[in-house]
Structure 1
Amino acid sequence: MKGDTIQIFVSMVIYMAIVIGIGLYFSKRANESSENYFLGGRSLGPLVTAMSAEASDMSGWLLMGLPGVAYWYGLSDAAWTAIGLAAGTYLNWLFVAKRLHNYSVIAGDSITLPDFFSNRFKEKNKFIMTISAIFILVFFTVYASSCFVTVGKLFNSLFGFKYQYMMIAGAAFVLFYTYIGGFLAETASDTMQAFVMIIALVIILFVGTAAAGGLVVVVQNAQAIPGFFEFFGIASPTVADGIQQSVNGVPQFGPAGNYGWYTILSTLAWGLGYFGMPQVLLRFMAIRDSRELTQSRRIATVWVVISLGAAVALGIIGRSLFPTDLKTYSASESIFIVMSSRLLPSMLAGFVMAGILAATISSSDSYLLIAASAFSKNIYQHLIKKNATDNQVMNMSRIILVLITLIGIVIALDEKSVIFTIVSFAWAGFGATFGPITILSLFWKRTTREGAIAGMMSGGIAVFVWKLVLKPMGGLFGVYELLPAFLVSCVFIYIVSLMTREPSKEIQDEFELAKKKSMEN
């Protein structure tokens, strides 16, 4: 490696060493009990709750996937996605956070999302718990693979190392410190990484704008590309075999595409996903005092608005600075890396690009831990070995951590994978499977166990059917699968709940108690 590259590498190694140190520091406390390992003993403060929730949610797509969309297609697709996500973040913290925290304590002191659903409906055969755990395992394995793709692309772009080797090394690193530190290590490192991510975005935003000649020049360049700088239009790169064509160093684009209200509604639907994201909902459950969630909401909202806005802007600025450097949609997701390595001193570039590692690590650790807890607590302990000790549950969770990592590695082996596409599918899966039942179980007393099962099953299945069968037909079926699947789930919950016997007095009394406590706080 060259001198500059070595400095970048050293900066990132130092960063990774700090993360491992955090895992080691919390390992003793994490291993005291399964509640500490999976939920941190409900001891999180408002800052850690907010920052770790957002860092674990955004993943590597914030610094690679979203800027890549803006670089390739222009403003509209990326901006409307960001607007939907910002709105969803705020509404989730406003309406769901406090009620879920209080209800999860009242409903059997639940420490996982499947626990809460099962305890909420007082089920004896644990069917809701089982299907919840299965969906979490499936979608979080896909989600984790997107993080491994991010790490592989990062080190391949920076150092020229073989993508597959770097992807596997990154997966092993995340597995190691999640394995030893559990939820406490995860939330502490996520908080640090949230600061790294937003600082990295802001630094590149200002440096990139200055290097491009100022904001006016960036806007003029973007407006010169048909549909690139429009909210109701979209750029159409001219490609041959997936590679964008250029003439005399000028990237070629076709006529602007139309970005109508139906497409906008589809893109805004990203915000619905928040109501079903286990890694975010778990932070609501883990805070030490529900009254502190108001402060957490403000912190989280500010962080999200700044981060998403900066990520979209980077894609626009990157097209002005490096118009022909990234010739495929997959390659466009490296625009943040290109800007960092070319515009900053080596050591600072290493710090900034640690932001990508931060985004990736802060998400993948959450995905692995929640998926492992879903199996070990909700399937192994309740169905397979009902008399399992706390140590046996934690040992099983670590076995599942390894298995999920291996499956995620297999999914991520293709270096042409597009991070944004992988994330969008898993996001839709969680949003449609858990979003409607989370909202209705918290705010509609008439929701029944049968309605919950019907809603979760129909929402999860609808994502697969719409994505794989209907969406390829185009037209009205081209809408993001989260929107129709979310609506399908809501309809099934409502209709089946009305068709079945109303919840028992015990369930209704708990609902009213959770409602009252949330209003008091």
Structure 2
Amino acid sequence: MSGMSFPALITFGAYLALMVFIGIYCYRSTNTLGDFILGGRRLNSTTAALSAHASDSSGWLLLGLPGWAYAAGLDAVWMIFGLAVGIYLSWKFLAARLRVYTEQANDALTISAFFEYRFEDRTRVLRIFSAIIILIFYTLYVSSGLVAGGLLFGEVFGVEFTTAVALSVAVVVVYTFIGGFLAVSYTDVVQGLLMVFALVVVPLIAVFAVGGFSNLVEGIEAREPTLLALGSQTSFDAVSGTWSAGGTFGLIAIVSSMAWGLGYFGQPHILARFMGIRSPEQIPAARRIGMTWVLVSMFGALLVGLAGIVYFETPLDDPEKVFLALTGAVMNPWIGGIMLAAVLAAIMSTADSQLLVTSSALTEDIYRALLNRNASQNQLVWIGRALIVVVALIAFILALQGGSVLGLVGYAWAGFGAAFGPLILISLYWKGVTRNGALVGMLSGAIAVVAWKQMGTPFGLYEMVPAFFLSGILVFAVSKITKASLPSEQAITHVGSSDAVRAS
């Protein structure tokens, strides 16, 4: 698909220009650090929902998930189901409480600041270690987006991988640097609408091109019947271009796939949307909008992968390029440019949020908290902008090492889900969490993810599962042991109250 047509180039370029324009427009509303990090807590339900899930989806939605469906067939449904459940539960049981409590917690702008207030941590170790975890895992996460961007720019423009990744960095940094949280959120709305449009149009046209759904099913069965059998594992050999039955897709594989949903409770870039929504009363509408977007998009991505199995007589050498390949094959150049822009939207909508959260943690939780407590608001905003560039450069270096988009995302997703998810959930519902319980739980979750991954994921179990539950158990157990050091009633007065529950 290299050698992009003129119509596609025009539509692709128009999309990029629109993103930069939104960044410039939002520049006028970014005057304080609170504006830069949370947009002044003034997102409406539509913006919060689309921004949360566009920023969540990244390149895995249009590259990784279709690639998995292309290689493994319907077994990708297990991850979709787990993600959908996790999304619903996070909106239902976490969003309203976090919105209320972070504002009451001395108007905490970051998760790290919330931890410090919630547990009255005067040593600031919670704030420092949570910021370090954010820096480590988000740098990996951003690098996954840059790898996806490299695949896109390389496929579209025919440039080599390093140049393609550099283009990805430049595009994302420009409007995030200029407009901060509002620019990220408003561009995410455009990007989210573009992504769901692409994930409806491309698979339906591809199904029509293969002769309809009955021909699609027959064609997949001709390739390998287990592609359509839930519970029967299928493997794909890119060298020979063949699919083969790989045995039973057993309980561990199902649990590992569904466990992706646990990650939603601990992703700082998604939690920031909960914290930045205008009021808890906006959350039920946001949940409905978000769930609709997620279900349509993920099942569209599944259909892209399944359609690619039948459409291409010669199997693809890289399953994660199935969306790009289908777009080039079945779309006219003008619409094709829009579809390719949707892939870039998926990449940018996550990378921008992650750069902003990482910059926010370094600015608010390290620079202001430890180095310069008297810094002016203007100085803090510019420090935040400078750190966006620094983190992007580090992620760029890591991205040049390559790797699977879905694999890199999975590692970072587990890191945040296990380090922060259990702690945030428990701390919003139980007054008995202590500073030491929080610290041990958070660190054990992050360390367990890394250790499990380094051991080669024993039993084939996704590292999220053991790390998440270990973290939750230790938060509870260590808090019980150190209950003499409970935070004061002032810090925990709203924990477990019904105000936020009624709003959700």
State TM-score, norm by structure 1: 0.93
Report the CA distance between 1:217 and its aligned residue: 1.1
Q: For 2:331, which of 344, 355, 358 is the aligned residue? A: 344
Structure 2 counterparts to residues 469-484 of structure 1, below 5 A: 469-471=455-457, 474=458, 476=459, 478-484=460-466
Matched residue type, 1:38: I
- Give the aligned partner of residue 449 of structure 1: 435
Q: For 1:432, which of 399, 415, 418 is the aligned residue? A: 418
- Say whether the 8 Å CA contact 1:62–1:308 is kept in structure 2: yes
Partners in 2 of 1:45 and 1:497 — Cα distance? 37
- Say whether the 8 Å CA contact 1:226–1:256 is kept in structure 2: no
Indicate whether 1:194 and 2:181 are aligned. no
Report the CA distance between 1:230 and its aligned residue: 1.5
- Give the aligned partner of residue 384 of structure 1: 371
Q: Secondary structure at the match of 2:494?
A: helix
Partners in 1 of 2:32 and 2:202 — Cα distance? 42
Matched residue type, 2:212: G
Report the CA distance between 1:507 and its aligned residue: 4.4
Distance change (3 Å), C-alpha of 1:509 and 1:142? closer
- Give the aligned partner of residue 147 of structure 2: 149
Report the CA distance between 1:397 and its aligned residue: 1.6
- Give the aligned partner of residue 14 of structure 1: 14
Q: Secondary structure at the match of 1:441?
A: helix
Report the CA distance between 1:2 and its aligned residue: 8.9
Report the CA distance between 1:256 and its aligned residue: 3.3
- Give the aligned partner of residue 98 of structure 2: 100
Report the CA distance between 1:226 and its aligned residue: 4.2
- Say whether the 8 Å CA contact 1:226–1:253 is kept in structure 2: no
- Give the aligned partner of residue 408 of structure 2: 422
Which segments of 5 or more consecutive residues in structure 1 lack a partner in the other structure?
246-250
Partners in 2 of 1:413 and 1:79 — Cα distance? 31
- Say whether the 8 Å CA contact 1:75–1:234 is kept in structure 2: no
Partners in 1 of 2:134 and 2:245 — Cα distance? 42
Report the CA distance between 1:147 and its aligned residue: 0.8
Partners in 2 of 1:2 and 1:263 — Cα distance? 37
- Say whether the 8 Å CA contact 2:117–2:491 is kept in structure 1: no
Q: For 1:304, which of 281, 284, 294 is the aligned residue? A: 294
Matched residue type, 2:44: G
- Count of aligned positions: 501
- Give the aligned partner of residue 275 of structure 2: 285
Matched residue type, 1:162: E
Q: Secondary structure at the match of 1:254?
A: strand
- Say whether the 8 Å CA contact 1:100–1:285 is kept in structure 2: yes
Matched residue type, 2:210: A
Q: Can you list the C-alpha shifts for 1:217-259, whole angstroms capped at 9, x where unaligned? A: 111122230421111012122x4xxx431xxxxx423333210
Partners in 2 of 1:469 and 1:2 — Cα distance? 40
Report the CA distance between 1:520 and its aligned residue: 4.6
Partners in 1 of 2:491 and 2:16 — Cα distance? 48
Indicate whether 1:506 and 2:489 are aligned. yes
- Say whether the 8 Å CA contact 1:106–1:510 is kept in structure 2: no
Matched residue type, 1:252: T
- Say whether the 8 Å CA contact 1:5–1:159 is kept in structure 2: no
Q: Secondary structure at the match of 1:408?
A: helix
Which segments of 5 or more consecutive residues in structure 2 lack a partner in the other structure?
none
Q: Secondary structure at the match of 2:455?
A: helix
Q: Secondary structure at the match of 2:306?
A: helix
- Say whether the 8 Å CA contact 1:226–1:235 is kept in structure 2: no
Distance change (3 Å), C-alpha of 1:179 and 1:220? same
Distance change (3 Å), C-alpha of 1:259 and 1:150? same
Partners in 1 of 2:40 and 2:343 — Cα distance? 29
- Say whether the 8 Å CA contact 1:445–1:508 is kept in structure 2: no
Q: Can you list the C-alpha shifts for 1:168-218, whole angstroms capped at 9, x where unaligned? A: 011111111100100000100101110000001100011010001110111
- Give the aligned partner of residue 403 of structure 1: 390
- Give the aligned partner of residue 275 of structure 1: 265
Report the CA distance between 1:123 and its aligned residue: 1.5
Matched residue type, 2:23: G
- Give the aligned partner of residue 119 of structure 1: 117
Partners in 2 of 1:303 and 1:26 — Cα distance? 25
Q: CA RMSD in A?
A: 1.5
Q: Secondary structure at the match of 1:235?
A: strand
Per mean C-alpha deviation after superposition, the further-off stretch among 349-358 and 118-127 is: 118-127
Matched residue type, 1:28: R
Report the CA distance between 1:4 and its aligned residue: 5.9
- Give the aligned partner of residue 52 of structure 1: 51
- Give the aligned partner of residue 248 of structure 1: none
Q: Can you list the C-alpha shifts for 1:32-87, whole angstroms capped at 9, x where unaligned? A: 100001100000000000000000000111000100011112220x2111111111
Partners in 2 of 1:157 and 1:470 — Cα distance? 32
Partners in 2 of 1:171 and 1:199 — Cα distance? 25
Structure 2 counterparts to residues 489-504 of structure 1, below 5 A: 489-502=471-484, 503-504=486-487
State TM-score, norm by structure 2: 0.97
- Say whether the 8 Å CA contact 1:432–1:456 is kept in structure 2: yes
Report the CA distance between 1:519 and its aligned residue: 3.8
- Give the aligned partner of residue 451 of structure 2: 465
- Give the aligned partner of residue 86 of structure 2: 88
Structure 2 counterparts to residues 2-401 of structure 1, below 5 A: 5-30=5-30, 32-76=31-75, 78-224=76-222, 225-237=224-236, 239=237, 243-245=238-240, 251-327=241-317, 331-401=318-388
Partners in 1 of 2:284 and 2:168 — Cα distance? 35
Q: Can you list the C-alpha shifts for 1:382-439, whole angstroms capped at 9, x where unaligned? A: 1122222222222222222111111111111134x21000000000001001100010
- Say whether the 8 Å CA contact 2:140–2:412 is kept in structure 1: yes
Indicate whether 1:412 and 2:399 are aligned. yes
